[in-house]
Structure 1
Amino acid sequence: MSYDNRRIHLIPQLDLLDDRTRSGLLRASKIFPLKVNSYVLENLIDWDAAPDDPIYRLVFPHQDMLTEEADHALTALETGALAAEDAAARLVEIRDTMNPHPADQTSNIPILDGMQIEGIQHKYRETVLYFPKQGQTCHAYCAFCFRWPQFIETSAPKFESKDNARLLAYLRGNPHISDLLLTGGDPMVMNARRLAALLDPLLDPSLAHVSTIRIGSKSLTYWPYRFLTDPDADALLDLFKRLADGGKHIAFMAHINHWREIEPEPVQAAIARLRQAGVTIRSQAPLIRRVNDNADTWRRLWSRQVELGIQPYYMFVERDTGATQYFGVTLAEAHRIYKGAISSVSGLARTARGPVMSTSAGKVQILGPMTVNGQKALALTMLQSRNPDTVHDPFLAKYSQEATWIDQLEPFDPVDTFPFGSKKGAA
């Protein structure tokens, strides 16, 4: 059973919440998208601890996510001060103030035959992101998700494509592309037949240069039965095995925010099936206040993932979009948490890189504070960049205890610029 913004009142567990929490959830859901299924409700959330349970916070919008402006708009709506059509337009205006497409994503859309290709982003030379139309939802939504405009109305464009042929033509014409990343939403909501129609053509010799297929997905922990008992689960695993046997590296980029998500037996069975099909599972997640903002949670998460055969990959900084004022942590705090976690795990878990900001210029890693000529600085480096010449070149910013994103930092030396050519950071 699945529930969304229109069916919140049917979620049976909401009766376990106090009136204030339930009321706040209903208000926040008028601004933010909500979707949750019975598996998450019954297996991942500790309802005795809600609303402070981390998985509850991960899934359900909360009153405190609302800005003052959004709160006032909802009050006007509730009191009848706005007509229905005016209220709907006002809610869109409120969402538009929340930076619906961070990191200038719309600038990454490539051109083929003189026209933009819908549903594709090409930010880095080697990697193309593809947003198949049928994959632009999820089994459940994360309240912090930076792709929230894919799921609710804003004036920003949605990324989606139903034309696999144009994707394949673009890949054939760009032999330097080695990685195709299916993203969304969640591609694992698509059935195996549609996925095969998209991915099987990559086995053609003309696309041999596309050696890695990445799949960004939360399905492993939000709906593990996708790989176990769904009607086409076997067909899906057969597709992965066929691609792996054909020489493709299948990298399942699992979004796992908390160690409790990987404790249920169905999740561990799904992990085993994916690995048996030749799939490499890597994990990534942002650092989220009220969900995983302490070193011990990350230590336990990374250590358990290694035990289960998952490779820790990224700790991200929460992007500057949506309810970032509610979920975000400062860059200084993010580094303290990362250092505390990474220093307490074995070498096999230290594959996790972080804290990392996905900015318009590239992926910026926070290396940590240092002192230069008696002044405190923050050292950073580009892990990935639009300009490959800047990769792994360290640079310095003025130290800040308050900054939560790159655009709030300034170069340490006022005559310098950051590697991406700005006196302040790129958003």
Structure 2
Amino acid sequence: MPEAPAPHHTRTIRDANGLAAAGLVPRDAVPGLEAVQARYSIAVTPAMAALIDPADPADPIAAQYIPRTEELVTAPHEVLDPTADEPFTPLPGVVHRYPDRALLKPLLACPVYCRFCFRREVVGPDGGLLTEAALEAALAWFERTPAVREVILTGGDPLILSPRRLGAILARLAAIPHVEILRIHSRVPVADPARVTAALAEALAVEKPLYLCVHANHAREFSPDAATALRRLTQAGVVLLGQSVLLRGVNDSAEALEDLFRAMLRHRVKPYYLHQLDHAPGTARFEVPPEEGRALLRQLRHRVTGLAWPNYVQERPGGAGKVPLGPVWEVG
């Protein structure tokens, strides 16, 4: 008889003991990691666990998802709300920072919990859904705010909503005359590709243009299952964009970035944003200085097609929004 699949390939790992049982951390690391899980959620999907090489202490997939005790150390420059969502939240679930677009956060749960997440203080399995009343209030806000032309669904991860619920939200937004564009930011297609069912793809097939920003930071995240999920989305008419975070130990070399951007393009994902790390608590180990990021992109300029070129951006303090970081080129 064939061997049964390993435990970490069958269900999402949500605690330090589960990580140890799956062979992803040493058993003697559990007490320290239990202190981390008391503050920050842990979730490693079967799809991501299967990509991790436990024998490699520098594995770039493990670096993104496996907690470390350093997360409990907050550096002086780190803040609880690095993107300053709170001052721009007119009502629960809505963030309105830019005049023509606004975020809708229908939930604060994700399929995986990235160790560098800028919302790590609020996301988690207990984040739950907006109540029906809160969601109705948020949708009504969009209906009465004609300046907003683009609605960006984020969270949490909107693609872990049921297709029925997500489809209803998108249909309601698409029916608003002044809303021209819908956008969803998600880890699901790579981190939990089994969720991209025919029913989910059908829910995304709305009349208004819909762009899905797929968050991936390393070429290995584009597994065969992820390829199937992404193909299903493109066949449903969804336009795919890529967003990544520049991360020490994950993609902080020209070779890793080139591999990542080429992998995106092979799966019809246009690299859109390369984010400078936001200063969330306990994330200092991932920091790559902007001058190093600019140097990496300069190395790539003539190595990859312009289709592979993302906007390298950073959030300004106090909620002042994103600014491009360059690089700047001499002309002449």
Per the alignment, residue 122 of structure 2 pairs with 150
**Aligned twin of 1:3:** 13
Q: CA RMSD in A?
A: 2.7
2:36 & 2:93 partners in 1: Cα distance? 29
Residue 406 of structure 1 aligns with which residue? Answer: none
User: TM-score, normalised on structure 2?
Assistant: 0.87
Deviation at 1:98, TM superposition (A): 5.0
Provide the rounded CA distance (Å) in 1 between the counterparts of 2:18 and 2:27: 16
Deviations 1:157-179 (A, max 9, x none): 99956433222322222222111
Aligned residues: 317
Secondary structure (helix, strand or coil) at the match of 2:244 reads strand
Query: Which has more radius of gyration?
Result: 1
Residues of 1 paired with 2:79 and 2:74: CA distance? 16
Cα 1:65/1:178, change in 2 over 3 Å:
same
Q: Distance in 1 between matches of 2:80 and 2:152?
A: 21
Deviation at 1:211, TM superposition (A): 1.5
Are residues 1:261 and 2:225 paired?
A: no
Secondary structure at the aligned position of 2:83 is classed as: helix
- The CA distance in 2 between the partners of 1:28 and 1:202, in whole Å, is 38
* Residue 148 (structure 2) aligns with: 177
CA–CA separation in structure 2 for the residues paired with 1:10 and 1:61: 12
In 2: Cα distance, 1:68 partner to 1:320 partner: 10
1:341 and 2:305 are equivalent in the alignment: no
- Quote the offset at 1:14 in angstroms: 4.5
- Is 360-369 or 305-314 further displaced after alignment? 360-369
Deviation at 1:202, TM superposition (A): 2.8
Match of 1:199 among 128, 151, 170: 170
Q: Do the aligned partners of residues 52 and 100 (structure 1) sit closer, same or farther apart at CA in structure 2, a change above 3 Å counting?
A: same
SS in 1 for 2:152: strand
Equivalent residue in structure 2 for 1:281, among 240, 244, 258: 240
AA partner of residue 220 (structure 1): P
Q: 1:10 to 1:159 in 2, by over 3 A?
A: closer
- Shift in alpha-carbon separation, 1:16–1:300, aligned structure 2, 3 A: closer
Unaligned runs of at least 5 residues, structure 1: 70-95, 111-116, 228-232, 372-427
Alignment of 1:273-422 (within 5 A): 273-350=232-309, 352-357=310-315, 359=317, 360-368=319-327
State how far apart, in whole Å, the 2-side matches of 1:190 and 1:226 are: 10
Q: 1:105 aligns to what?
A: 85
Q: 1:198 to 1:48 in 2, by over 3 A?
A: same
Q: Whole-Å Cα distance in 2 between the matches of residues 146 and 182 of structure 1?
A: 16
SS of corresponding position for 1:225: helix
Partner in structure 2 of residue 35 of structure 1: 43
Percent same amino acid among aligned pairs?
27
Alignment equivalent of 2:54, drawn from 31, 47, 52: 47
Query: What displacement does 1:236 show?
Result: 1.8
| Counterpart residue identity of residue 151, structure 1 | V
Look up the match of 1:234.
198
Whether 1:65 aligns to 2:71 is yes
Aligned counterparts of 2:264 and 2:47: Cα–Cα separation in 1: 21
Tell me the amino acid that sits aligned with residue 89 of structure 2.
I
Write the distance in 2 (CA, Å) between the matches of 1:355 and 1:203.
29
Structure 1 residue aligned with 2:177, among 194, 208, 211?
Answer: 208
Distance (Å, rounded) in 2 between the aligned partners of 1:143 and 1:171: 32
Instruction: Tell me the CA shift for residue 284 of structure 1.
Output: 0.5
CA distance in 2, matches of 1:213, 1:342: 31
Q: Does structure 2 conserve the Cα–Cα contact (< 8 Å) formed by 1:3 and 1:11?
A: yes
CA distance in 2, matches of 1:184, 1:104: 14
Which structure exhibits the higher relative contact order, with contacts defined as CA atoms closer than 8 Å and separated by 6 or more residues?
2
Please give the per-residue CA displacement for 1:338-387, whole angstroms capped at 9, x wherever unaligned.
2223442112212x11143354212111224799xxxxxxxxxxxxxxxx
List per-residue Cα deviations over 1:107-146 (Å, max 9, x = no partner).
1112xxxxxx2110000011110111xx321111111111
Letter in 1 for 2:214: A
How far apart are 1:46 and its partner, in Å? Answer: 1.4
Flag the structure with higher strand content. Answer: 1
- 1:148 partner SS: coil
What are the Cα deviations for residues 39-80 of structure 1, in whole angstroms up to 9, with x where unaligned? 2112x211221x3201101001113334289xxxxxxxxxxx
